[in-house]
Chain A
Amino acid sequence: MNDEEELRPLQLREPRPALGERARLVGIVAWSSFLAASVGTTVCFGLVDPAAVQPEEAPSWWTSRLAVYSLGFFFFWAIGALAAALALLLAGAVRMQGQR
């Protein structure tokens, strides 16, 4: 900051294409279910050890703890996303009724 010129206002913002509404809703669903899945995975596998399942009883993808943890995480994520998407859908219906 060494010359008078710099104290004048500059052009503040560059406009940028915005995310559409649908992309934002997808983002909200993905992100909130991600947070829930993190909690769910931690608690679930803190209590249950995948290696405690008898090998003959385990499904074919039950190969290692890391694999079960990871797939478990995606399972929780998918379930969470389903709940979040339904919540958004139903909340949208409530809002539309409120506007009527």
Chain B
Amino acid sequence: MNERATAATAESLYLPRQKVYPREVSGRFATLRAVAAWVLLGLFYLVPWLQWNGRQAVLFDLPARKFYVFGLVLWPQDFIFLTALLTIAALSLFFFTALAGRLWCGYACPQTVWTEVFLWLERFAEGDRNERMKLDRSPWTAHKIARKSLKQALWIAFALWTGFTFVGYFSPLSELLHRALDFSLGPWETFWTFFYGFATYGNAGYLREQVCKYMCPYARFQSAMFDRDTLIITYDARRGEPRGARRRGIDPRREGLGDCIDCTWCVQVCPTGIDIRKGLQIECIACAACIDACDAVMDRMGYPRGLIRYTTQNSLDGRPTRILRPRVLVYGTLLVVLITAVVAGLAMRTPLALDVIRDRNALYRVLDDGRVENVYNVKILNKTERPQTYVISVSGSVPLELDPEPARFSVASGEVFPAVLRVRAPRWEMPPVSDIRFEAVSVDDPSLRASVTARFIAPNEGGGS
């Protein structure tokens, strides 16, 4: 009883969600969106199949803690690059949002792109908008069951393939496929395939525009990057109003009408189900479907195109639009600086890391022959894809002796090799504390080298007096 009362208030707080049946649309922007979907999804499904030097070209090998991006191999030590790449992605989003509004949402967001594909599959199985609406209203006939089953089969197959491809970015895809065909996938591989597959199925098949409206954080803060010079999709109310139905061929001005014939095509094609004629709304993902729909109607009526168009608030108000504005310049400069830094960092990065720590047990040891010895724990990390042999040398203000000599170490690909090195120096020539320099050089490739500075400690006796 009480619960029913609560439920009733809950219902009244929210408008019940009404299913949106987007009408198919064709035109310039629909073509652009289809091209974007093909390119992006094509990349997503094909890239993990590419090979490079006998391995998967793009592989974020989580089990082995190595990221392969074509010729580049990144290790956990290169985590900074991942951080920088994510920052670049975020800044690009800000930059393009300030410049051209929600380009990301309309053309590139996985939610939009996968929803588009699920809509294609739905259209294939259930027909166009009117047929789909009729089908949903009709009782469960054999025809309806057949159509709905076909749609579900297509959706589930596509979603599972998506989940499988997703896992293929983290675990080698061809091995994964072999194991999948043998039904011998590991429990976690199976789990993540189904998890991502289910997320795709639910988000692109059912939640659709609700993800943009209720779940997307970007939709909430993107307006902070908007200003009066940002490209938005808007209805030209001054030209369109007062809207109204009319016979073709009449002069609307004489009838006191604007150019909008109130055919509601712009609403019917909208994937988020809004009416663009009510002005800019947070639900608008800027997919431009309404532009295509309206342009087609304007063509039929013999009116000029662009009643709904990409424009800026300033240009709508008859003021000039500025492209270069402080926020665009700031985002752009940050972006250029960061991209330059990452490219330079990647170019100058050596696939060899040397780490030297003084042994903690003793400051120094004075040998019988009067020399001083310091002990160092050295770690050599081979970040190349081949085994390497490195020679370590040491240099300081006086000639130093290294033990073992020569210090040659073979390090397998991706391995960290721990070594203990002893450095000896004549006692009377060393100040109490001095810097010495270790250098590792690859035997096969002398350009592969790294050096590091360490402390050498000697007894504080000063010049033997």
Complex interface: chain A residues within 8 A of B79 (CB): 46-47
Q: State the main secondary structure of chain B at its contact with A.
A: helix
Tell whether, in the assembled complex, residue B192 and residue A70 are in contact, meaning their CB atoms are under 8 Å apart. Answer: yes
CB pair B82–A46 under 8 Å, yes or no, is: yes
Min CB distance, A91 to chain B, in Å?
15
CA distance A67 to B190 in the complex (A): 12
Could you say which residues of chain A place their CB within 8 Å of the CB of B264? 9-10, 12
Tally of chain A residues near chain B (CB < 8 A): 35
The yes or no answer to A19 lying at the interface (CB within 8 A) is yes
Query: Do B297 and A65 have beta carbons less than 8 Å apart?
Result: no
Chain B residues near A4 (CB, 8 Å)?
Answer: 248
Residues of B within 8 A of A69 (CB): 62
Chain B residues with Cβ below 8 Å from A20 are 7, 10-11
Contact of A13 among B19, B63, B186, B265 (CB under 8 A): B19
Q: Are B15 and A18 in contact (CB under 8 A)?
A: yes
A15, A24, A46: the one within 8 Å of B16 (CB): A15
Q: Is the CB of A12 within 8 A of B188?
A: no
Cα distance, A20 to B17, chains bound together (Å): 10
Using an 8 Å CB-CB cutoff, how does the interface string of B1-32 with A read, 1 for contact, 0 for none? Answer: 00000010011011111111100000000000
Considering only residues 64-79 of chain A, those with a C-beta below 8 Å from chain B are 64-67, 69-70
Bound CA span A64–B191, Å: 15
The reply to whether A8 and B62 form a contact with Cβ atoms under 8 Å apart is no
A66 touches B18 (CB 8 A): no
How many residues of chain B get a CB closer than 8 Å to chain A's CBs?
44
The reply to whether B19 and A14 contact each other, CB–CB distance below 8 Å, is yes
Is A21 touching B297 in the complex (CB atoms < 8 A)? no
Known: A27-B215, A49-B65. A19 touches B17 (CB 8 A): yes
- Judge whether B214 and A27 touch: CB under 8 Å: yes
Chain A binding site: helix, strand, loop or mixed by DSSP? helix
Q: What chain B residues lie within 8 Å of A96 (beta carbons)? A: none
Give the most central of A14, A31, A47: most B CB within 10 Å: A14
Residue of A with least CB distance to B86? A42
Q: Which of B15, B76, B188, B262 makes the CB contact (< 8 A) with A49?
A: B76
Nearest B residue (CB) for A50: B65
CB neighbours (8 Å) of A17 from chain B are: 16
Whole-angstrom distance from the CB of B21 to the nearest CB of chain A? Answer: 7
Enumerate chain B residues within 8 angstroms of A13, measured Cβ to Cβ: 18-20, 273
The answer, among A9, A65, A67, for a CB contact under 8 Å with B263, is A9
In the bound complex, how far is the Cα of B15 from the Cα of A18, in angstroms? 8
B17 near A12 (CB under 8 angstroms)? no
Contacts of B267 in A (CB 8 A): 12
Closest to B14 in A: A18
Cβ of B380 < 8 Å from any Cβ of A?
no
Max count, chain B CB within 10 A of own CB: residue among A12, A27, A45, A51: A12
A20 CA to B3 CA, complexed, in Å:
12
Q: Are A1 and B297 in contact (CB-based, < 8 A)?
A: yes
Among A12, A14, A47, A51, contact of B268 (Cβ-Cβ < 8 Å): A12
Which residues of B are found within 8 Å of A8, using beta-carbon distances?
245, 263
Given the complex of chains A and B, what is the CA–CA distance between A32 and B186 in angstroms? Answer: 29
Contacts A10-B264, A70-B191 given; indicate if A22 touches B10 (C-beta within 8 A). Answer: yes
Once A9-B263, A49-B76 are accepted as A-B contacts, the answer to whether A14 and B14 lie under 8 Å apart by CB is no
Asked whether any CB of chain B lies closer than 8 Å to the CB of A53, the reply is: no
Q: Are B16's CB and A16's CB within 8 A?
A: yes
A16 touches B17 (CB 8 A): yes
Closest to B210 in A: A19
| Contact between A7 and B10, CB atoms less than 8 A apart | no
Closest CB of chain A to B172's CB: distance in Å? 13
B54 interface hit (Cβ, 8 Å): no
Given A24-B214, A46-B82, does the pair A66, B21 have CB atoms closer than 8 Å? Answer: no
B136 located at the interface, meaning its Cβ lies under 8 Å from any Cβ of chain A in the complex: yes
B-chain residues with CB within 8 Å of residue A35 when the two chains form the complex:
217
On whether the beta carbons of B297 and A7 are closer than 8 Å, the reply is yes
* A and B contact pairs by CB, cutoff 8 A, 5 listed: A9-B264, A18-B11, A21-B13, A22-B10, A67-B188
Binding site for B on A (CB under 8 A): 1, 4, 7-22, 24, 27-28, 31, 35, 42, 45-47, 49, 51, 64-67, 69-70
What 6 pairs between A and B have smallest CB-CB spacing?
A18-B16, A21-B10, A13-B18, A16-B19, A7-B263, A46-B79
Q: A13-B273, A17-B16, A19-B14 are in contact. List 16 more A-B contacts (CB 8 A).
A: A1-B297, A7-B261, A7-B265, A12-B267, A12-B268, A14-B21, A14-B133, A16-B16, A18-B11, A18-B17, A20-B10, A20-B11, A27-B214, A28-B214, A49-B65, A70-B188
